[in-house]
């Protein structure tokens, strides 16, 4: 949704075995699956339920199959809005590299779109519940020079048209 803040809920670890990336690039579906984190899953569910009920989030997407990259692409295409994404804080907080941030399939994670008017209430709720969260970006309002693109600041930019073409080409 245009003009909203994007938060990543949960923590990201180097969990790429058996991931969508490993399957597509290497034809590899084996290895060690992501850790099951029942307490974190429960905490994430409680946050999503309460934030949705209380009008603090307008959209949410899990980070399972394909990780953060896939969730951002699917969200951008669904809403027809690009985004600017900054991952430096996430990389430093979780001690991971850019590739891992984009494609890890660690469990108990989601991205959410938070209206600017709800950011304080949302972050206070996450802090009170001691659930890890990080602000990673903003959805486009349509008037930016980079509108209609998914920009990973300091790394690369893909237009929604390029993403849509790639998405269509990947369908069976």
Per-residue pLDDT of the chain (172 residues; tens, 9 = 90+): 678 999 999 999 987 765 555 555 555 566 677 889 999 999 999 999 999 999 999 999 999 888 999 999 999 999 888 999 999 999 999 999 999 999 999 999 999 999 999 999 999 999 999 999 999 999 987 666 556 899 999 999 999 999 999 878 877 6
Beta bridge partners of 110: 9, 62
Q: Is 73 helix (H, G, I), strand (E, B) or coil?
A: helix
State pTM to two decimals: 0.90
The size of the chain, in residues, is: 172
Contact 150, 96 (CB under 8 A): no
DSSP string, 12-58: -----TT-HHHHHHH----SPPPPP-HHHHHHHHHHHHHHHHTT--S
H runs (alpha helix) in the chain: 20-26, 38-53, 67-79, 88-94, 98-103, 119-128, 160-170
């Amino acid at each position: 949704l245009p003009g909203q803040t994007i938060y990543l809920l949960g923590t990201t670890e180097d969990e790429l075995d058996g991931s969508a990336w490993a399957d597509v690039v290497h034809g590899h579906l084996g290895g060690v699956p992501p850790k099951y984190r029942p307490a974190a899953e429960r905490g994430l569910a409680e946050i999503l339920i309460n934030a949705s009920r209380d009008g603090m989030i307008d959209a949410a997407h899990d980070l399972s199959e394909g990780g953060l990259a896939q969730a951002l692409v699917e969200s951008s295409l669904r809403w027809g809005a690009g985004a600017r994404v900054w991952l430096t804080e996430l990389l430093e907080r979780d001690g991971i590299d850019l590739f891992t941030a984009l494609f890890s399939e660690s469990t108990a994670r989601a991205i959410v779109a938070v209206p600017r008017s709800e950011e304080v209430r949302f972050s206070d709720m996450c802090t009170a519940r001691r659930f890890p969260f990080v602000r990673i970006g903003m959805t486009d309002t349509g008037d930016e020079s980079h509108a209609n693109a998914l920009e990973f600041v300091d790394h690369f930019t893909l237009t929604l048209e390029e993403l849509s073409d790639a998405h269509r080409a990947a369908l069976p």
